[in-house]
Structure 1
Amino acid sequence: MKNFTRYTAASLALVMAGACTYDFPEEKAATAGEADFTKTVVIGSSLSAGFMNGALYNDGQSHSFPAIIAQQMQSVGGGTFNQPDINAEAGYYGLAPDGTTILGRLYLKGTTSPKPAPIVPGQAITPYTGDKSKLNNFSAYGVTIQTAQIPQLGGPASSNPYYNPYYARFASTPGTSTLLGDAVAALGSGSFFIFWLGNDDVLGYATNGADQNDATKPMTDANVFAGAYNNALSTMLAANANAKGVVANIPDVTSLPYFSTVAYNPIPLDATSAAAVNAGFAGYNAVLDALKANLGVTDTDSRKITFSASSSNKIVIVDETLNDYGDEFDMLHAAGAISDAQRAALVPYEQVRQTTSSDLVPLVAANVIGTLVSNNPSLINGVTVPLADKYILLPSEKAEVQARIDAFNEVIAAAVSTNSSRLALVDIHSILLSLKENGAEIRGASISASISPPFGGFSLDGIHPNARGNGYLANQFIDVINAKFGASIPQCNPNDYSGNALPVP
């Protein structure tokens, strides 16, 4: 990620102040209480699959929070916990610009200016070769509440927008079976289950900056979600009348470091550079003054672009909620106030402003801010070239996303309440917000909702917990299970699991 360091150095500071204390309960005789953990089945998305540092790989899978919970359950009768092992040390992060080289998981590279970089080469996603009938964890990256219930998720790959290679690799019958169906089959002979679906019904849309022009990452309609969610959960409950379980809700996206690592004002400029950029925007700002003076436009002052000699300049962005100045610019052009060339140069700036503290900058924007367009030194993304909508979550978009999360969580809470004799709710939404706002202290060591080593609890993709964060998350589930079912599953010590490694040269 080319410009990660420049825009996130402040965020790599250790979060120590204001941390709350995370107390371990007194140990008591181990018991399963009213539950049976002989065979625990998990269904979910990437968060429960062990996806970490932007990839699915061995170490991430082995430290998924369900795997940690299963290990702790062994002292109260828990059985073997099988996951569809990926057998990849580096995993699959994506393809390099050459379209051929496979990039692996992220790691921090560079001692003076550390930045997340993919391991090269990574490994391709390969089919699971173990016994699929013995699997316990049915979780896959990118699964929504609807796609978990359709066979297209497993194939065929060609001309299939729902194809998911992460599920296809361990599907019982690719192209015929469903993720839900496979989990239900396992629960038929199971005893307990963990259900965490719904994150990808909103997360992809949010991480893509709520880009309305990208139809591949929509938010699920709230009514559609309710029907699909209740059907999936009811199907799991019907699979085994004796099985009990826990259900997790959907976190607030603002609690994820993906939306808090890059500041809204991350651009460093020296005096010479700032003066040059300001000179370039002088004509644009003069046009705004003309709109105000001659056409009575009232919002021009907030739309002016200015930079200073500092390390905290704001980003120039496209804001589709702004008044479109296209008509006003045309009026000035028709009146002869601006030339043909000047009117053409104003096209990219018809709905432009600089960021405010109310905007959220996705982590992926660090790859773009400050880079050159077509290697032209005068065309700088986020400075002279407005950053596209997908790289910013506007206040209105943030409100839209949060409203949808609230609606989904109401559905989830109601579903759990309706089946309260068999289900308990893990309020991940509140847990992660608290971690972001207060941090936590675990036996003398801090953990924070950040990617900062050594105490950050999230992996370098800013969305998925690292091993230590998964240990923390596992204990939240264990607390709820113990309280609901009278069990005494011992907590793990998250400090026994690694956080993000320090940068390497």
Structure 2
Amino acid sequence: MKRCIFLINYLAIGLLFSCQYEFPEPEQLSPDSGQADFTKMVTIGSSITAGVMDAALYNRSQQNSYAVILAQQMKEAGGGDFNVPDINAENGDLILSATGGNLGRLILTLNQTTGSILPTPIVPGDALTAFSGDKTTLNNFGVNGLSLAAALLPASGNIQEPSNPLFNPYYARFASDPGNSTPIGDAASALANGGTFFVFWLGKNDVLPYALTGGAIPELLTSEQDFSLRYQTALGTMLQANLEAKGAIGNIPNINELPYFSTVAWNALPLDNTLAALANSVFTDYNNGLDNLATAGMISVSERDLRKINFTAGQNGFVIDDKTLTDLSEMGLPSIRQTNIEDKVALTTGQILGLSPGEDPTLIYGVTVPIGDSYILLPSEQEIMEEKINAFNQIIATTISANEDRLVLVDTKNLLERIGQSTETANGIALSNSISPPYGVFSTDGVHPNARGSAVVANHFIEGINDKWNSTIPKANPNAYIGNDLPR
């Protein structure tokens, strides 16, 4: 079969137009702190709190995190300086790279030959370096990849020579005592040293790694028992660090709904009549074998129909491995099927779909070579994810309710749901749960918000804080913050 490179257009044609647009300025009340005190705010969280965007932490992303934007708005209501561990990198170090190497943040790139628009790394990227500033003045303890366990445990090693599997270079670069201190310990110390308010947003990375690996590694999901113990310990440490400080707590969004799993469509494989017929000829024996097994009662008719491979002219589901299917390997039949509308496809699938893994032109990913489990969230895996997130969020809500005089729950799960339903607006402009400018609020990695999305998240925190303590922190204007850059 002739090697094919299929045209996969992820984004609407609106990408080709300007991403600048005007928001009307909202009417604001006179700023006031109400029953809270924002003199010194401390934040603890994962990559979103750190400011990761476009699969990297770099200067522009770090300075446009929701935490930085929130602190800027708090200044008008009595807030003080907000210091971050400066990354000093224009392009950053790609954190979602499957191949490694000196790659920087993702950008949208227009292929002049095919017309495809793809997130592509900048080359070269920037080496991660240690923070050289004053660690004792830091306010932001957001760390990429930070799970609850990693927030509580010291990871030995240093940024030049890591020696521990738990080592996190993004924390080591600004840790108070690399190898001995912990992110929670450092954040608590900052809060104890004159802190008046804190933002706590941990828990996402107790489920996200499972999702980003397509549900292929169940061990990446934290148990509910461990989550509860670790969450109460981490939040309790912050509460005990300063008995007067109040805090805003973010919960876990529905990770199934991230653009990382919706940008590449389940039927992203375009074929003409000739190619469809050629591809179908490869699976004649496979389909006949399924018919025979169904007739013999060894598999159900519904499973036979699910497993059958049938390409047509137009957009097609592509061939994937599915470990949940009946094992028919003894009959010489693999556990494969075509994707359908219930599957969630990873954004990174676009990097291989329709391409050949080697020199053999008959081998094509998604046709004759199944797409692996790590690229697809199967329906059963999505259900596991949703159950975990709901259980973890209930633990979070219960923990907050035990300290409701000092804490407010900021329902970020609800925010993402509203954005997904196109019911969330920013000053009258509907936002979209996508990476497509100008209204998409996610950066090009499909996981982290872009600067404009970070302003929306900051506003959501402001709403919760203002409602809880009768504050009047002014909201940010999302149009003051850039969305995704147009394709290069």
* TM-score computed with the length of structure 2 as normaliser: 0.92
Q: Following TM superposition, by how much is the alpha carbon of 1:155 offset from its aligned partner in structure 2, in angstroms?
A: 4.6
After TM superposition, the structure 1 = structure 2 runs for residues 274-353 of structure 1, keeping only pairs within 5 Å, are 274-294=276-296, 296-298=298-300, 299-310=303-314, 312-327=315-330, 329=331, 343=332, 346=333, 349=334, 351-353=335-337
Q: Following TM superposition, by how much is the alpha carbon of 1:6 offset from its aligned partner in structure 2, in angstroms?
A: 3.5
* Separation (CA, whole Å) in 2 of partners of 1:33 and 1:97: 48
SS in structure 1 of the partner of residue 44 of structure 2: strand
Q: Does structure 2 retain, via aligned residues, the 8 Å contact 1:7–1:263?
A: no
Q: Does structure 2 retain, via aligned residues, the 8 Å contact 1:4–1:115?
A: no
* Separation (CA, whole Å) in 2 of partners of 1:390 and 1:88: 30
Q: Does structure 2 retain, via aligned residues, the 8 Å contact 1:316–1:385?
A: yes
Which of the numbers 127, 134, 155 marks the counterpart of 2:130? 127
Which of the numbers 150, 154, 176 marks the counterpart of 2:153? 150
Superposed CA deviations along residues 162-207 of structure 1, whole A, max 9, x for unmatched, are 0000000000010011000000000002000000011100001111
Q: Following TM superposition, by how much is the alpha carbon of 1:8 offset from its aligned partner in structure 2, in angstroms?
A: 4.1
**1:170 and 2:154 matched:** no
Superposed CA deviations along residues 387-414 of structure 1, whole A, max 9, x for unmatched, are 1111110110000011111111001001
SS in structure 2 of the partner of residue 376 of structure 1: coil
Query: Which amino acid in the other structure matches residue 93 of structure 2?
Result: Y
Query: Which amino acid in the other structure matches residue 123 of structure 2?
Result: V
After TM superposition, the structure 1 = structure 2 runs for residues 49-88 of structure 1, keeping only pairs within 5 Å, are 49-88=50-89
Q: Does structure 1 retain, via aligned residues, the 8 Å contact 2:156–2:163?
A: no
* Separation (CA, whole Å) in 2 of partners of 1:4 and 1:409: 43
* Separation (CA, whole Å) in 2 of partners of 1:201 and 1:390: 17
Superposed CA deviations along residues 301-324 of structure 1, whole A, max 9, x for unmatched, are 3211010111x1001111111111
Superposed CA deviations along residues 20-72 of structure 1, whole A, max 9, x for unmatched, are xx997642221101111010000000011000000000000000001001111
Query: Which amino acid in the other structure matches residue 464 of structure 2?
Result: V
Superposed CA deviations along residues 204-249 of structure 1, whole A, max 9, x for unmatched, are 111110103x86xx01111100000001101100000110010000
* Separation (CA, whole Å) in 2 of partners of 1:251 and 1:94: 21
SS in structure 1 of the partner of residue 409 of structure 2: strand
Q: Does structure 2 retain, via aligned residues, the 8 Å contact 1:288–1:304?
A: yes
Q: Does structure 2 retain, via aligned residues, the 8 Å contact 1:262–1:361?
A: yes
**1:366 and 2:368 matched:** no
Would the alpha carbon gap of residues 296 and 105 (structure 1) be closer, same or farther in structure 2, given more than 3 Å must change? closer
SS in structure 1 of the partner of residue 141 of structure 2: strand
Superposed CA deviations along residues 257-314 of structure 1, whole A, max 9, x for unmatched, are 011111111101111111110111112111222222345532323211010111x100
* Separation (CA, whole Å) in 1 of partners of 2:99 and 2:338: 33
Query: Which amino acid in the other structure matches residue 254 of structure 1?
Result: N
Would the alpha carbon gap of residues 52 and 154 (structure 1) be closer, same or farther in structure 2, given more than 3 Å must change? farther
**1:182 and 2:166 matched:** no
Q: Following TM superposition, by how much is the alpha carbon of 1:485 offset from its aligned partner in structure 2, in angstroms?
A: 0.8
* TM-score computed with the length of structure 1 as normaliser: 0.89
Q: Does structure 2 retain, via aligned residues, the 8 Å contact 1:184–1:239?
A: yes
* Separation (CA, whole Å) in 2 of partners of 1:172 and 1:4: 50
Q: Does structure 2 retain, via aligned residues, the 8 Å contact 1:5–1:113?
A: no
Would the alpha carbon gap of residues 12 and 154 (structure 1) be closer, same or farther in structure 2, given more than 3 Å must change? farther
* Separation (CA, whole Å) in 2 of partners of 1:169 and 1:472: 29
Aligned partner of 1:115 in structure 2 is 118
Aligned partner of 1:41 in structure 2 is 42
Q: Aligned pair count?
A: 471
Q: Does structure 1 retain, via aligned residues, the 8 Å contact 2:54–2:105?
A: yes
Structure 1 gaps of 5+ residues are: 15-21, 330-342
Q: Does structure 1 retain, via aligned residues, the 8 Å contact 2:11–2:117?
A: no
Q: Following TM superposition, by how much is the alpha carbon of 1:384 offset from its aligned partner in structure 2, in angstroms?
A: 1.2
SS in structure 1 of the partner of residue 291 of structure 2: helix
SS in structure 1 of the partner of residue 276 of structure 2: helix
Query: What's the C-alpha RMSD, in Å, of the aligned pairs?
Result: 2.1
Which of the numbers 445, 451, 471 marks the counterpart of 1:487? 471
Which of the numbers 453, 456, 470 marks the counterpart of 2:437? 453
Aligned partner of 1:32 in structure 2 is 33
Aligned partner of 1:430 in structure 2 is 414
Q: Does structure 1 retain, via aligned residues, the 8 Å contact 2:422–2:430?
A: no
Q: Following TM superposition, by how much is the alpha carbon of 1:449 offset from its aligned partner in structure 2, in angstroms?
A: 1.1
Aligned partner of 2:20 in structure 1 is none
SS in structure 1 of the partner of residue 312 of structure 2: coil
* Separation (CA, whole Å) in 1 of partners of 2:378 and 2:414: 23
Query: Which amino acid in the other structure matches residue 105 of structure 2?
Result: R
Deviates more, 1:290-299 or 1:118-127: 290-299
* Separation (CA, whole Å) in 2 of partners of 1:415 and 1:54: 31
Query: Which amino acid in the other structure matches residue 126 of structure 2?
Result: Q
After TM superposition, the structure 1 = structure 2 runs for residues 179-328 of structure 1, keeping only pairs within 5 Å, are 179-188=183-192, 189-212=194-217, 218-294=220-296, 296-298=298-300, 299-310=303-314, 312-327=315-330
* Separation (CA, whole Å) in 2 of partners of 1:4 and 1:414: 51
Q: Does structure 2 retain, via aligned residues, the 8 Å contact 1:40–1:81?
A: yes
Deviates more, 1:4-13 or 1:479-488: 4-13
Aligned partner of 2:448 in structure 1 is 464
SS in structure 1 of the partner of residue 253 of structure 2: coil
SS in structure 2 of the partner of residue 180 of structure 1: helix
How much identity, in percent, do the aligned residues show?
Answer: 48
Would the alpha carbon gap of residues 316 and 12 (structure 1) be closer, same or farther in structure 2, given more than 3 Å must change? farther
Q: Does structure 2 retain, via aligned residues, the 8 Å contact 1:92–1:105?
A: yes
* Separation (CA, whole Å) in 2 of partners of 1:371 and 1:230: 47
Superposed CA deviations along residues 318-342 of structure 1, whole A, max 9, x for unmatched, are 1111111123x1xxxxxxxxxxxxx
* Separation (CA, whole Å) in 1 of partners of 2:156 and 2:355: 37
Would the alpha carbon gap of residues 439 and 126 (structure 1) be closer, same or farther in structure 2, given more than 3 Å must change? farther
Would the alpha carbon gap of residues 394 and 137 (structure 1) be closer, same or farther in structure 2, given more than 3 Å must change? same
Query: Which amino acid in the other structure matches residue 224 of structure 2?
Result: A
Superposed CA deviations along residues 136-175 of structure 1, whole A, max 9, x for unmatched, are 0001110101110111166585441100000000000100
Would the alpha carbon gap of residues 424 and 467 (structure 1) be closer, same or farther in structure 2, given more than 3 Å must change? same
Deviates more, 1:378-387 or 1:3-12: 3-12
SS in structure 2 of the partner of residue 109 of structure 1: strand
Deviates more, 1:184-193 or 1:26-35: 26-35
Would the alpha carbon gap of residues 429 and 25 (structure 1) be closer, same or farther in structure 2, given more than 3 Å must change? same
SS in structure 1 of the partner of residue 345 of structure 2: coil
Aligned partner of 1:19 in structure 2 is none
Would the alpha carbon gap of residues 58 and 439 (structure 1) be closer, same or farther in structure 2, given more than 3 Å must change? farther
Q: Does structure 1 retain, via aligned residues, the 8 Å contact 2:108–2:118?
A: yes
**1:105 and 2:105 matched:** yes
* Separation (CA, whole Å) in 2 of partners of 1:234 and 1:98: 39
SS in structure 1 of the partner of residue 155 of structure 2: helix
